[in-house]
Amino acid sequence: MRSQSDDSAVPNPDPGDGAPPPVRPPGDVVFSAAMHLRLLLRVDRTQSIRRALQAAVRPGGRVLDAGCGSGLLSLLALAAGASDVVAIDRDNIDLARALARENGVEGRIRFIEADLNTLDAQAVPGTFDSLLAFVYTNHPIVDEPRSRTVASLRRRFGSPSCVTVPNRVRYWAVACEWPQFDAFTELADLRHAVADMEHRYSLKFGPLLEAATGEVFFNGTGPRIHGDRKWMPGSTNGGYRHGRDGGRFLSERTAVAEILYDGGGGFEGLPARVGLTVSSPGTVTAVMWGQELWFDEFLLWSSETFSPAAEAVAARAGERLDLILDDRWRATNLVTLAPAELPRQERE
């Protein structure tokens, strides 16, 4: 197997000057009204959440709905017995307020338009018995800082016995041979296209190439989430999953991280390296990530997405690979694979 530990395995939009490009995180996701509608059309998801809220919300308790979106969870919290609900969102607060008004409960929910990362404690006095935080986008790169936000909200606004929904997030990874992900060809075409454009304009477009590279490998890495008709939720129950006719798995599912919000600890981030053992020989062209949202032992929702391999790696059965989860992966969604680091006792 070829070593993947050098910088040639990740994109460098300006290789001529010898300096790596600055790393920039991907743009955050703004949930539109149409996105919220499509989520609500997945009634199976809502029923799972309703079941969790019935267990998490105490009669007469205070509930903080963080990232309330359409406000549905606030409505469900009231139905579960909450006496005081505070709903916060940066994009859809007018929509949530209008739906609460239409359902006759506007006076029972306090709506605040704010960003969860800069939320002023004075605007939300007191502590809460339940924290509702369905803020996830299904991709580990975008959701890593969101998990930090949830942990911070739990610490700042939760009572000592506060219950978070979901209160566990699990990630797993699988090495895949997925022909539709060919990062090398995509990058080569992108660089050549920009180089040709630069010659025609007699201008330099390095920052534009860098920005485009940081977007290209996020696009198309999630499953098709609609049915055959635009507004139908499809037949997959309980999550967003890829079809299995586009490629093959080369390893078993490997645990990456488990985030526990109600245990008193924080969240520092995903591990820097994740080791996989190849079970079936082939060429690794991508890594499939799984995200699972849990409430205690009840699985609420699961999803799958991809990170294309920065460079395809031919691997044999029994071979061990490390996924390098560095800043470049976070900026481009291209994951680097390297020979696994042996534990110290094995090196000695």
Q: Decide if 235 is inside a domain.
A: yes
Q: Decide if 165 is inside a domain.
A: no
Q: Decide if 148 is inside a domain.
A: no
Q: Decide if 162 is inside a domain.
A: no
Q: Decide if 147 is inside a domain.
A: no
DSSP states along 82-111? -SEEEEEESS-HHHHHHHHHHTT-GGGEEE
Residue 312 · residue 303 · CB < 8 Å? no
Do 91 and 239 belong to one domain? no
> pLDDT per residue over 109-128, tens digit each?
999 999 999 998 888 989 99
Sequence-separated (6 or more) residues with CB below 8 Å from residue 178: 246, 247, 248, 285, 286, 288, 306
Show the domain range for 238: 7-29+170-347
Q: Of 132, 160, 178, which residue sits at a domain end?
A: 132
Supply the pLDDT for residue 343.
58
Supply the pLDDT for residue 222.
85
Tell whether omega for the bond before 339 is within 30 degrees of 0, i.e. cis: no
What is the rounded CA–CA span in Å between residue 52 and residue 70?
A: 18
Do 21 and 86 belong to one domain? no
Do 62 and 208 belong to one domain? no
Do 187 and 56 belong to one domain? no
Q: Of 132, 149, 180, which residue sits at a domain end?
A: 132
Do 261 and 314 belong to one domain? yes
Do 232 and 338 belong to one domain? yes
The tens-digit pLDDT sequence of the chain (348 residues) is 323 233 333 333 333 334 333 444 455 677 788 888 888 888 888 899 999 999 999 999 999 999 999 999 999 999 999 999 999 999 889 999 999 999 999 999 999 999 999 998 888 989 999 999 999 989 999 999 999 999 999 999 999 999 999 999 999 999 999 988 898 898 899 999 999 999 999 999 998 988 888 788 888 788 876 555 677 776 666 788 888 887 999 999 999 999 999 986 789 899 999 999 999 999 999 999 999 999 999 999 999 999 999 999 999 999 999 999 999 999 999 999 999 876 555 445
Supply the pLDDT for residue 20.
36
H or E element, residue 215: helix 206-216
CATH number, position 56? 3.40.50.150
Task: Supply the DSSP symbol for 52.
Answer: H
What is the rounded CA–CA span in Å between residue 142 and residue 26?
A: 7
Task: Supply the DSSP symbol for 335.
Answer: B
Q: Of 78, 112, 132, which residue sits at a domain end?
A: 132
Dihedral angle sign, alpha carbons of residues 200, 201, 207, 208: negative
SS3 315: strand
Q: Decide if 90 is inside a domain.
A: yes
What is the rounded CA–CA span in Å between residue 61 and residue 184?
A: 54
Supply the pLDDT for residue 7.
32
Do 175 and 97 belong to one domain? no
Do 203 and 313 belong to one domain? yes
Supply the pLDDT for residue 235.
60
Place of tokens 């790596």: 20
SS3 344: helix
Instruction: State the total domains in the chain.
Output: 2
Burial class (CB in 10 A: 0-12, 13-18, 19+), 284: buried
Do 309 and 192 belong to one domain? yes
Q: What angle do CA 173, 178, 182 make, to 5 degrees?
A: 110
Do 55 and 198 belong to one domain? no
Q: Decide if 292 is inside a domain.
A: yes
Supply the pLDDT for residue 216.
86
Task: Supply the DSSP symbol for 226.
Answer: S
* Cβ burial 12-41 (10 Å sphere, 16+ → b, else e): bbeeeeeeebeeeebeeeebeeebbebbee
Q: Decide if 159 is inside a domain.
A: no
Do 89 and 236 belong to one domain? no
Residue 182 · residue 312 · CB < 8 Å? yes
Do 288 and 315 belong to one domain? yes
Supply the pLDDT for residue 269.
94
> pLDDT per residue over 169-192, tens digit each?
999 999 999 988 898 898 899 999
Place of tokens 């180089």: 195
Supply the pLDDT for residue 6.
32
Place of tokens 């903080």: 64
Question: What's at 13, amino acid-wise?
Answer: P
Residue 232: φ, ψ to 5°: -100, 140
CATH number, position 329? 2.70.160
